[in-house]
Amino acid sequence: MPSKSVVATEPISSDFKIMNQAIVDISPLALATVPWGVLCGSLAITVGLTPLQAQLMSLLIFAGAAQLAALTIMGSVGSISSMFSSTFVISSRHLLYSAVFREHVRKSSLGLRCSIAFFLTDEMFAVTCAYMEKHKNFSAVYALSSGITFYVIWNISTFAGIIAGQHIPNLEHLGLEFAIAATFIAIVIPNIKNRSTLVSVVSSGLSAIILSIFMEEYALIIATFIGMFCGYLTKDNDKNKDIINE
């Protein structure tokens, strides 16, 4: 149907342009998370979930880091409270994204606000902010198109992981676990642009190692808090330097 509407009105054709742009922009980021989605699917099978349960995690929760942390907890201690607390801590960065988009979506309908919120991820936030900076205005079409593209690729890769997890025993030996490490390194390291972020990363990493050895259940949450706290404290000291750098 879209191909027939060549003589469509201006808003529709420009919406298509925005949609295409959104899909092009988010695709590399979405493809980089494919190994990670495969891991979420196969790990879910490994810890004993049914294929339906594994797919529902990606369909409903739709948060890679939170899903992986939850699966790791299910595989070891399995307490619901530590699953919920780690989900909240990991997802709390979305509060920030939500606050940034707030002024742009506040007057939209409840349905649109719910949709944009549901498809809000790190990657969608990153490309939508870049679009906003370039065009000087927020586009709901852009945000939704990039978010939905990401959602589809995430769920297809989870599905692939579920299939692989059922048919290939000991899939974790193929190094999918390392894919998480590689993905996070690729996202975190190039984004260290000031001293406070560096301090936050180093302190979180060091405490994660020490805590993993002594109290694995809470290592992720406590290390994250330590990293946030140390980064926050450092920022104050080099505020002037930051301004010069920017």
Partner 1 sequence: MNNFWLALLGMTCITFFCRFCFFSKTVPFELGPKVKRVLSYTAPSVMTAMWVPIVFLGHQGSSGDFITSPFLIAGIATVAFSLLMKNTLAVVVFGMSIFGLLTFFF
Judged by CB under 8 A, the chain residues 139 through 158 that form the site for partner 1 are none
User: For 62, left (φ over 0), alpha (ψ -120 to 50), or beta?
Assistant: left
> Is 20 a binder of partner 1 (CB under 8 A)?
no
**One-letter amino acid of 56:** L
Q: Residue 92: count other Cβ atoms within 10 Å of its Cβ.
A: 11
**One-letter amino acid of 182:** A
Indicate the residue among 22 and 219 with the shorter CB distance to partner 1: 219
Q: How far is the CB of 178 from partner 1 (least distance, A)?
A: 5
Q: How far is the CB of 3 from partner 1 (least distance, A)?
A: 30
Applying CB under 8 A, what is the total number of residues that bind partner 1? 91
Q: How far is the CB of 104 from partner 1 (least distance, A)?
A: 10
> Is 241 a binder of partner 1 (CB under 8 A)?
no
Piece in contact with partner 1 (CB under 8 A), picked from 7-15, 102-110, 131-139, 149-157: 102-110
Alpha helices in 76-194 (DSSP H): 80-91, 93-105, 110-118, 122-135, 140-167, 176-188
> Is 22 a binder of partner 1 (CB under 8 A)?
no
What is the separation of C-alpha 239 from the centre of its chain, rounded to a whole number of angstroms? 28
Contacts of 112 by beta carbon, 8 Å cutoff, 6+ apart:
105, 140
Indicate the residue among 60 and 244 with the shorter CB distance to partner 1: 60
> Is 106 a binder of partner 1 (CB under 8 A)?
yes
Q: Six-digit token pair at 98?
A: 């939500």
CB 128 within 8 A of CB 143: yes
> Is 195 a binder of partner 1 (CB under 8 A)?
no
Q: How far is the CB of 124 from partner 1 (least distance, A)?
A: 10
- DSSP assignment of 128-153 equals HHHHHHHHSS--HHHHHHHHHHHHHH
CB 230 within 8 A of CB 203: yes
Indicate the residue among 20 and 92 with the shorter CB distance to partner 1: 92
> Is 102 a binder of partner 1 (CB under 8 A)?
yes
Q: Which of 21, 146, 157, 196 binds partner 1 (CB under 8 A)?
A: 196
CB 122 within 8 A of CB 96: no
Residues 213-232 that bind partner 1 (CB under 8 A): 213, 219-220, 223-229, 231-232
Indicate the residue among 113 and 163 with the shorter CB distance to partner 1: 113
